Structure 1
Amino acid sequence: MNATQWETLTDFTKWLGREGLCKVDETPKGWYIQYIDRDPETIRRQLELEKKKKQDLDDEEKTAKFIEEQVRRGLEGKEQEVPVFTELSRENDEEKVTFNLNKGACSSAGATSSKSGSLGPSALKTLGSTASVKRKESSQSSAQSKEKKKKKSALDEIMEIEEEKKRTARTDYWLQPEIIVKIITKKLGEKYHKKKGIVKEVIDKYTAVVKMIDSGDKLKLDQTHLETVIPAPGKRILVLNGGYRGNEGTLESINEKTFSATIVIETGPLKGRRVEGIQYEDISKLA
């Protein structure tokens, strides 16, 4: 560094960060330097990514408002269950209502028979009114049950729409923490080429800090220099793209002709679902 304006390499590293030429991070194990790509294509890709992110947020907000509106309409349309009471009236004032109160358990049958025989038309009318109230309550309960089924069907329909939307929406980034990846670039030399590591941190969606499994070295790499790792059947995987992105699962089998796999989702509301034809690049082995 004697022939430069910097006394030490550390000063030079800090200068690169201040000038905005590189992203510089100081860690307990040393300095990490990442070149800032000013290429117009890279800038265009970042702008498109920000635009897509804003559009996704707008879609989520619209969906939330739609669900809220459905719930509000459901509450407004719900009929409050009100009991119906009828007045006990006697059409014939001269008619007598008698009660036969007998002592002892053995005479209870006779008392019931006598009481039943003593009920007049007015009492029968009262019983008829009670039965009418019960029928009305049963009808209201049946209507409410149908309304609940209708609301549930609407909610299921919304969930299906959201699931289909996520399934068809793909992104150009796929890195996730705690997945195992393989280095495919030769720029780092034979020491790291085709070697596996664990993603410990994701930076700006496209860059990963990878800890090598065999040496323990940490490298900061772009996703274009990495590829996913497909484990043996029965091992745990993470879905990296498509509608099931973010869900953990188990690899059931692979199809070498179509470069695809069959998995079983193990987390989230879709737990237990069997998914066929998922591409190799959409899943990776979990650490």
Structure 2
Amino acid sequence: MGKHEVGTPKYIANKIKAKGLQKLRWYCQMCQKQCRDENGFKCHTMSESHHRQLLLFADNASRYMDQFSREFSHGYLNLLKRQFGTRRVPANRVYQEYISDRGHIHMNATIWITLTAFVKWLGRSGQCVVDETEKGWYVTYIDRDPETLAAQEKKAKKQKMDKDDEERMMEFIEKQVEKGHQEGNEQMETFKEPLKRTDPDAPLILEMKINKKPKLLPIVIKSERVEDEGSNTIISSSIISGIKQEKLSDKYIEPDTSLTNKGIKRKSKRIDDDSNVEGWLREGLMVKIITKNLGEKYYKAKGVIQSVENSNFVGKVKLKSPKEVENHVVKIDQEYLETVIPAIGKEVMILWGKYKGMKGIVHKLHIGNYSIDIELVKDRSVKKELPYEQVCKYVT
């Protein structure tokens, strides 16, 4: 009887029947052929190709059995590893997932007769952890992959390091608590007698000696550039009263460290901001020296900030005017400096506030209010009136 034509109802019915799992007793493992009914399986067993496969199996039965068993165990363990990982699951559940594939190796073609025998073999070979309960056998996959073992070792090492850090922290906290208890006990033991008046009507007089903090004067280093005869080498000699001569090429003036960094002083009212956390000095700003401690020739001298340090409180200023101090480098605190306000149309930088660090163009001066109107360079539509202390001339 020939095959039915494609598209006929009988052809479609046969295709539907061929889908999915069929009965295991009508499956030939050697030929890897699944028959739909008993009559078809009988016809297959009588075919010449089936008899040739049986002769091959009879020549070396153990080799075929071992191969089928190896493929079955490999497929079962691969499914257990990928789908369930190292979780504890029923062995029969994994088996049902495995046989859902039509091309799987059937257990009746392996050396194991039942699933229980196969599960026991997994436990004996050390590939899984097996245990039996009232609901059946359970398996747990043992992952011996080198990458997995390396990841587990790394995780264990990290946990150990975290534990060591926690132990050190606990020891530190215990020492601090013990130290606090000791200090508390010492304070309780210390007893101070209250003040007593000999005469109740006489005023109470306390004699307190306050040592004045010495004021550190800035050091002025004068340099002279002398050309050595017979060579182009430039030698700079510095003269300091009471100090031996040293070779320097620039003049540095150290700030008065006994004074606090409070920012510039102007006639207008100082507006509180975050200048107590960070200074207002920036590279490229044109500033003016307002202290006479450096000498008359440095008083009201102007220069450009080359570099800043100490949270922008101290800067190195290269002087531009007057000519007698031109190109001198002064290292000075911002307390001795004042911002310079340029002419209309020149560029300035905002030192603090909402637009801190942004550049603007001078639009108008308000001399009476000690403030100026500026336009932001990035957005000319934004115009702000800011005090003198908040802006400074910027030199590109």
Place the TM-score, normalised by the shorter chain, in its bin. Answer: 0.3 to 0.5
Q: TM-score, normalised by structure 2?
A: 0.32
Work out which structure has the larger RCO, using CA pairs closer than 8 Å and 6 or more positions apart in sequence.
1
* Larger proportion of helix: 1
Q: TM-score, normalised by structure 1?
A: 0.43
